[in-house]
Amino acid sequence: MDIFELKEFTDSNKYNAEKMKFSIFHKLVETAIELTLWIFFLYVAIWNWMDGLMSSFGLCSGTSWVNDFI
């Protein structure tokens, strides 16, 4: 008595191989985006943009490092 049929086994192997390929591709793209954000200081730019936006609505103080907990 076979636990798995041959077709079910090959389909499962194909699915797992595709899933692994997609996972590797996803990690590479994710790493490339993360490196781009760090290398070109885009995190800093986004932080400063949000600080300016929030200041224009009066949601934070004039100093960028002051927050609700201090």
Please report the DSSP string for 26-57 in residue order.
Answer: HHHHHHHHHHHHHHTTHHHHHHHHHHHHHHHT
Q: Domain spans of the chain?
A: 10-55
Return per-residue pLDDT of the chain as tens, 70 residues.
578 899 999 999 999 999 999 999 999 999 999 999 999 999 999 988 988 888 888 776 555 555 555 5
C-beta of residue 44 within 8 angstroms of C-beta of residue 52: no
Residue 67 pLDDT: 56
